[in-house]
Amino acid sequence: MNRGNPATYVIALAVVALSVGPVVYGALNGFRSNEQLATDPAGLPDPWRLENYSAVFTNPDFWRYATNSMVVAALTTLIAVGAGVLAAYPLARYDFRLREPLFMVFVLGLLFPLATAIIPLSIFISRDLQLSNTWWGVALPQAAFALPVTVVILRPFLMALPRELEEAALIDGASRIGVFWRIAIPLSRPALVTVGVLAFVASWNSYLLPLLLLQGEMRTLPLGVADYSTQYSADTAGVLAFTTVATLPALILFLSLQGRIVNGLQGAVKG
């Protein structure tokens, strides 16, 4: 077997540089002034200036957007994972006639893109539910759209858990709900983390629904970044600093749990 073929390293380095380059560029240029940027677009910060970043962290709008993003993502995750594991459990454990058709409903749900429903959905949320410009107005539909994938990942996982524990508990007189809560939920924690992180990052990054439903102080970070970059388009360094800071939470969360998530997904791809 090849061990340390130089060509492999060259390719790896090139791919890594291209992947991370623009992000690093944005982060570095956040440390420069716009004059430095104009005179030498590809140079390094010299001297390093912290003004752009400190401006982001002292900008009350930034904290407002970050709070909104955090709350919406947390609500979305809680609802999607909660409702998802509830639905996946009987689909994995009970034998009933409609089980497979019911599971098909969730599989088909994957085929409905948000874009198809977005216009009537935003009318429904703002006029019928009176939830426009609220956290719930974004979190509820996002959770609904996250549910199909949550159930599709969780069901096979729950099916693969050994039944014996649950059966023993049932014989000992535990209720089905008790078994679900005390045995199935703790055992499926790894899968719950995977679907939870997926739902959280999808919500943290989402743009379309917030774009149509949130304004002013209720905006989330992606919306804030996009608006900031058009409003202060002349302040390139400021925009890059703002953008860099906005990416950090999702990046840290995802990368720290990456091994777990990728393993979960690999299992799913192999079916």
- C-beta of 190: minimal distance to another protein in Å? 15
Question: Candidates 56-64, 70-78, 108-116, 185-193 — which segment interacts with another protein by CB under 8 A?
Answer: 108-116
In the numeric block, the tokens 């454990």 are attached to: 93
Neighbours of 201 (CB within 10 A): 19
- C-beta of 1: minimal distance to another protein in Å? 6
Q: Pick between residue 21 and residue 189 the one whose CB is nearest to another protein.
A: 21
- Confirm if 88 and 151 have CB atoms less than 8 A apart: yes
CA–CA separation, 236 vs 37, rounded Å? Answer: 8
By CB under 8 A, residue 35 contacts another protein: no
CA distances from 193 to 21, 85, 201, 267 (A): 30, 12, 12, 15
- C-beta of 18: minimal distance to another protein in Å? 7
Q: Pick one of 18, 47, 171, 172: the residue that binds another protein (CB under 8 A).
A: 18
Q: Pick one of 72, 149, 213, 241: the residue that binds another protein (CB under 8 A).
A: 149
In the range 40-79, which residues lie near another protein by CB under 8 A? 41-42, 79
Question: Candidates 48-56, 58-66, 181-189, 244-252 — which segment interacts with another protein by CB under 8 A?
Answer: 244-252
In the range 81-100, which residues lie near another protein by CB under 8 A? 82-84, 86-87, 89-92, 94-97, 99-100
- Confirm if 69 and 135 have CB atoms less than 8 A apart: no
Please name which of 81, 105, 79, 102 lies closest in space to residue 92, comparing C-alpha atoms.
102
Please name which of 132, 147, 22 lies closest in space to residue 82, comparing C-alpha atoms.
147
By CB under 8 A, residue 168 contacts another protein: no
- C-beta of 112: minimal distance to another protein in Å? 5
* 161 contact partners, CB below 8 Å, separation of at least 6: 184, 187, 188
Question: Candidates 51-59, 60-68, 181-189, 248-256 — which segment interacts with another protein by CB under 8 A?
Answer: 248-256
